[in-house]
Amino acid sequence: MRFAKSACWAFVVALGLVATDAALRIGAAEEAYRSQIDLLRKSLEKYQDYKVAVRDLYLSTVGCVHYSGEKMAGHMEYPKGAMGVHFVNVTVRGASDPTKPNVLIYEPVGKELKLVAVEWLVPLAADTKERPSLFGQSFMGPMEGHEPLIPKDYVHYDLHAWLFNNPLGMFAPTNPDVSCAGYDFPLLEMPTKMMAGP
């Protein structure tokens, strides 16, 4: 009994160390890419106004995407929280540019839309040799498209960047502080299926 208890404590302490280490590493990665991230924030200032984004062909996909935190074997793990409303620009193609994401994400706040994050979506192609990365962060995936807004057969990698605040970290897929409540088109999505790939 005594042994079980101390083993349990050792586990908790180890877990704490791992968590702290991961947080520090993410912090260090953010630090190393600080100037690139600042540049990205600057290039996005104009998109605080979603109408400017629309004029630049970032088009609203209407639904405010959020997740329950439910875990499903073989599917992506999305902590409970929202992403928000994705504005997708299909004219942004080619290698991922750290200052030019192909998705802008807005949170509905009252009658306004507030820019909260950006996302890079990279399709898995026959000649994909490695997992894409930006800011020292490996993209998540490959995974199926996010139904119902993106068809299942759009297998892709993605990386979110929360530019202003996310308690789960700057590159987490969801944000518990973002909400779709009160918005006319909330969309509870199931976690996307993971696919094989580099």
Q: Which helix (H) or strand (E) holds 123?
A: strand 112-123
Q: Which of residues 67-126 bind Cu ion (CB under 5 A)?
A: 83, 119
**Least distance between Cu ion and beta carbon 83 (Å):** 4
**Least distance between Cu ion and beta carbon 119 (Å):** 5
Nearer to Cu ion, 35 or 132 (CB): 132
- Give dist(CA 122, CA 132) in Å, integer: 8
Nearer to Cu ion, 34 or 80 (CB): 80
Please choose, from the candidates 103, 91, 93, 97, the residue with its C-alpha nearest in 3D space to the C-alpha of residue 123.
93
**Least distance between Cu ion and beta carbon 105 (Å):** 6
> How do 186-188 and 59-67 pair as beta strands?
parallel
135 and 36 Cβ atoms separated by less than 8 Å = yes
87 and 60 Cβ atoms separated by less than 8 Å = yes
Please choose, from the candidates 130, 58, 143, 61, the residue with its C-alpha nearest in 3D space to the C-alpha of residue 95.
130
**Least distance between Cu ion and beta carbon 103 (Å):** 7
- 140 is an interface residue for Cu ion by CB under 5 A: no
Nearer to Cu ion, 107 or 119 (CB): 119
Q: How far is CA 179 from the centre of its chain?
A: 15
Nearer to Cu ion, 83 or 178 (CB): 83
Size of the site for Cu ion (CB under 5 A): 2
Q: Characterise 12 by phi-psi region: left (phi > 0), alpha (psi -120 to 50), beta (else).
A: alpha
**Least distance between Cu ion and beta carbon 117 (Å):** 7
Nearer to Cu ion, 33 or 174 (CB): 174
Residue ranges binding Cu ion (CB under 5 A): 83, 119
